[in-house]
Amino acid sequence: MIKLFRSSSAKWLVFLADCLFIYVSYWLAYSIKFHNRVPAEEWNSYLHYAPWLGVLMGGTFYFFNLYDMSGRQKLGKYRFNLVLAHLVIAVELIMLSYWFKGFILPRSILIIGFVLGLWFTVGLRHLFYYMQSKAIGKKRALIVIKDPKRDLAIVEKVQRQGNTWFEIQKVCILPDDNQRVAGAMLDEIDVLILNHDIPSQVRIELIRQAGVKQLEVVMIPDFYELYLTGAEPQQIDDLLVYSIMPPRLSLFERFAKRAIDLAIATVLLLIASPVMVLMFIVIPTTSRGKALFVQERVGLHEKQFNLMKFRSMVDNAEKGTGPVLARDRDPRITRLGQFIRATRIDELPQLINVMRGEMSLVGPRPEREFFITQFKEELPHYGYRLMVKPGLTGLAQVRANYTTMPSDKLRYDLLYIKNYSPMLDLKILFQTIMVVLQREQSKGVLADQAADATIEHLIVDAQMEMASSKD
């Protein structure tokens, strides 16, 4: 059922409904403004820009991820994205009215069309969400993990963010007798959630048993499984094989990416220059130290470069501690620093790094050598993210946040490299606007917290049932 909702047919159906709604919205706007007596010149103007209306809507909605029909999305995310998308469409129409003198667009028409279009498209997403929730439903879930100290954060995330879709029945910490536990517990659930570190043989057996019972399986992918994305099926005699290439960009992709970087970074630098000049003045006057903060980071093929940022912390913040990741409510961050970090103003000087070719607009975020050495020890696949230029923003930045674990960020980085396209870069840049406005994703790393009582209770129940299944 989930596959039905994210099929290409469903996306096209929603796109056609959006087109209908946007045209009806502006047609109603003219009818409301002129009390159903629209002057001929106004209708001619509407017909002149009508073809652009559908093109702008489709492109903008795509870049704001409004045709991502994968299951279990948040309804609030759709609403927020729709507001931003309609605002961008309004700005695009204003720009077109200045560039092309063949049509006029009264402000009242723009406002009424904006309100009606937003109302119609939000209603469509609400209907789609309702159909998904009824078709998919809230499923009883069993979560299987291996390391309780490390993996309880995953359980908390499913419980907190996925409560619309999942009702956690049990949390199983993988014991030695894996198969007996699976057989005893799969009868009481609708969906099996497997963490990435479950041994492959155990995972295969759990998936087999879930298939026999016709249960949905939700997996957190291991890194090698991400490499299968885009793998080429080949045949050696009668043997089916998959060809997996290391995650890297082709020559054409690197050329296209560089051309886009130069074009957009030049425009952004021109637009942001007044704000950057202001920061050079305001930051030194509000806290001791220079406005610009320069730090060594590791880039493409592990070459080091000097990354530039506006200083958001006190001067010499790591003098007594050494390299430390920023934390939520970090006392080292200045009052102005909190604002420029939340709005990403502190990242603007990195546009110069992009112009110099040390960074790209989109790519994995650059890290310091100190942290990369640690991450390589914990995550053997970490070196693959250094096969592309680091970025000012990236898939991990728009899908995750500062509190996301490095392993989960790495999954997004590898997924980006495997699926790179210029259109994906533009899509991530648009979605970065949403991240900046929402601000929630700019918080620092949270301190470790113990699992809440509800999760502990679920684990105790699971362990009791395991014991009873062995008697």
| pLDDT at residue 440 in the model | 56
Cα separation, 364 vs 247, in Å, equals 13
* pLDDT at position 249 over 80: no
| pLDDT at residue 1 in the model | 44
| pLDDT at residue 387 in the model | 85
What Cα–Cα distance (Å) separates residue 331 from each residue in 231, 334, 444? 46, 8, 11
Mean pLDDT, residues 372-391: 87
Cβ contacts of residue 21 below 8 Å, gap of 6+?
A: 117, 120, 121, 124
pLDDT one-digit tens code per residue, 103-159:
677 888 899 999 999 999 999 988 888 877 776 677 888 888 887 777 777 888 787
* pLDDT at position 467 over 50: no
| pLDDT at residue 460 in the model | 43
* pLDDT at position 179 over 60: no
Mean pLDDT, residues 463-470: 47
| pLDDT at residue 325 in the model | 64
Cβ contacts of residue 360 below 8 Å, gap of 6+?
A: 257, 258, 261, 354, 388, 389, 390, 391, 392
Ranking 64-73, 103-112, 296-305 by mean pLDDT, the lowest is: 64-73
| pLDDT at residue 227 in the model | 75
- Give the residue among 204, 196, 213, 145 at the shortest CA–CA distance from 175: 145
| pLDDT at residue 189 in the model | 85
Which of the two residues, 142 and 403, has the higher pLDDT score?
A: 142
pLDDT confidence tier of residue 448, bands split at 50, 70 and 90: very low
* pLDDT at position 17 over 70: yes
Sequence spans of domains, the chain? 2-135, 138-220+450-470, 251-438
Which of the two residues, 380 and 356, has the higher pLDDT score?
A: 356
| pLDDT at residue 263 in the model | 94
* pLDDT at position 446 over 60: no
Cα separation, 410 vs 110, in Å, equals 43
* pLDDT at position 452 over 60: no
| pLDDT at residue 390 in the model | 94
| CB-CB contact of 461 with 170 (8 Å) | yes
| pLDDT at residue 60 in the model | 92
pLDDT confidence tier of residue 5, bands split at 50, 70 and 90: low
Can you tell me which residue has the tokens 């299951």? 71
Which of the two residues, 310 and 8, has the higher pLDDT score?
A: 310
* pLDDT at position 459 over 90: no
* pLDDT at position 361 over 80: yes
Mean pLDDT, residues 238-250: 80
**CATH code, 138-220+450-470:** 3.40.50.2300
Ranking 163-172, 201-210, 318-327 by mean pLDDT, the lowest is: 318-327
pLDDT confidence tier of residue 280, bands split at 50, 70 and 90: very high
Mean pLDDT, residues 433-456: 57
pLDDT one-digit tens code per residue, 22-39:
999 999 999 898 888 888
| pLDDT at residue 75 in the model | 77
pLDDT confidence tier of residue 19, bands split at 50, 70 and 90: very high
175's tokens: 């014991």
Cα separation, 253 vs 126, in Å, equals 38
Can you tell me which residue has the tokens 């050696």? 236
* pLDDT at position 469 over 70: no
Average per-residue pLDDT for the chain: 81
Rounded CA Rg of the chain: 26
